[in-house]
Amino acid sequence: MTVGIVWDDRFLAHAAPGHVERPERLTAIRRALEEAGQWSSLAPIPARPADEADLLRVHAAEHVRRVRETADAGRVVWFDPDTYACPASSEAAFLAAGAVCAAADVVLAGETASAFCPVRPPGHHACRDRAMGFCLFNNVAVAARRLQAVHGVRRILILDWDVHHGNGTQEAFYDDPDVMYISTHQWPHYPGTGAREETGRGQGRGTTLNYPLPAGAGDEAFLEAVDDGLARAQDFGPAFVLVSTGFDAHRDDPLAGLGLTDSAYAEATRRVRRLAEVTAGGRVVSILEGGYAAGALGRSAVAHVQALAAG
C-alpha cells in the first residue's frame, strides 16, 4: 500500500538553543527511513501553509496573530517556559498545520492509502487561545475540522498515543459527537489532564476516551488500551482516522517512562490500519507529536511506516 509523506526543510528552521524539541528530531526520522530503504518508496506530498479559515476553525484570531507576529520579533519569543518561537517558527507552524491538511486531502482523494506527516512544531497541546507544551497550532485538530467543513466527512477518529495527554485536542472536540478522541498517556504526568473520568460534554459525552497508564506500563498494557479504544471506535464508525503519533512513550525517551518498544508502535499501527480498512476505506493520516531520543525516534518511525505500508 502506498504511503504518502510530507517533508519540507522549512520545518528544520524552527529552533532554540538547547531545546529538546529540535530540528534533529526530523533529520533522525529521515535518516532512519533512508537507511531502512523506505524513503524512496514513499509518495511525496507537498507542504502548504494553512489557510486562515482552517486555523480559525480551531484557534482564536488573536492567537493566530500572536504566532504570526513572532516572525518580526528578531529573537526567540517564549509563550511559556517550554514553548518558543524563533523568527522562522511562524512559517514552520503555518506550514505544519497546512501540511497535515494537505495530507488529509490527498488521502481522502485516494491518491495514497495513508500518509505520515513528520512536521514540527508539534501540535496536540495547543489550545484555542494559547501555545503550550512545545506546540503552536494544533495540527491534528486543524486537519479534522477541515475534513468536516470542507469535505463533509462526518465521523472522525483521532487516536493519540503520545506519552503526554493531548489536552488541546481534547478541548477542541470535547462537546463534538462526531469526533472521537482516544488518548493513551502516562499518568500522572504533564499536562495533568486526561483522567479516565474525562469522557466529553453535552452531545459529545462518550466520544472522549482516556487511558491513563502508570510509568513502566510497557507494551502489553499499552496495546490493551489501544485495543479497547479501537473496539469502541469501531462501533462509532469513523470515516477517517487521524493518529497523533508521538514516540516519546519509548523506553529510551528522556522525557517520560512508559517503557514502550519499537514493536509496540508497529503493532498499534497495524491495529489502527485494520480498523480503518473496516470503517474508513483504509484512510489514515498520522502526525508526529513527541519523541526526543533520536535513535528511538528513527526506529519507531520506521516501524510505524512499515506497518502503514503493509498490504
Provide Rg for the chain, Cα atoms. Answer: 17
C-alpha cell read off for 185 = 498517556
Where do runs of H (alpha helix) occur along 6-123? 24-35, 52-56, 61-69, 89-108
Q: What residues pair up with 29 in beta bridges, in sequence order?
A: none
**Hunting for cell 524539541 — which residue is that?**
21
3-state secondary structure of 60: coil
β-strand 43-45 against 77-80: which pairing, if any?
A: unpaired
Measured distance CA(171)–CA(163) in Å, rounded: 18
Whether the CA torsion 115, 19, 82, 290 is positive or negative: it is positive
- Considering 59, 63, 124, 125, which one is annotated as catalytic? 125
C-alpha cell read off for 107 = 488521502
Residue by residue, DSSP assigns 187-232 as SS-TTS---TT----GGGTTSEEEEEE-TT-HHHHHHHHHHHHHHH
3-state secondary structure of 242: strand
End-to-end CA distance of the chain: 5
Cβ-based neighbours of 9, under 8 Å, separated by 6 or more: none
3-state secondary structure of 139: helix
3-state secondary structure of 183: strand
Catalytic residue status for 189? no
Residues annotated as catalytic (active site), given as ranges: 125
